[in-house]
Amino acid sequence: MSAEDLSQVGALIAGPASAVVVCVMVLGAVYKLTVQQLVPLASKALDRHLAQVDTLLEQQRKESASLTRALSSFERALQAIDARLARLESHAADEPDGRVLVARRDG
């Protein structure tokens, strides 16, 4: 090989070939950083988020059960009032002037 050939090879090695080597090294470092640092960090953050969602779902289930019990109790009370009102209306239909005397029932 002549000196001119060596200078051309040297220019190629110093220019494009070294740029490719540097790019491969940078990409390798980015990959290593991503795999060793970012993936575990994201995994931990996702686990915390899912734990919070589970907690919220459990609270919602408890609130839903409590609300269902309260509404059921309310419905029973309304049915009792409706039955009493129906009895009063039937008694009022029997009275000539439509008035009914009702005794107070406390308790």
Distance of CA 89 to the CA centre of its chain: 51
* Rounded distance between C-alpha atoms, residue 5 and residue 18, angstroms: 18
pLDDT digits (tens, 9 = 90+) for 30-53: 999 999 999 999 999 999 999 999
The string of pLDDT tens digits covering residues 1-17 is 666 777 777 776 777 77
The tens digit of pLDDT for each residue in 70-92 reads: 999 999 999 999 999 888 888 77
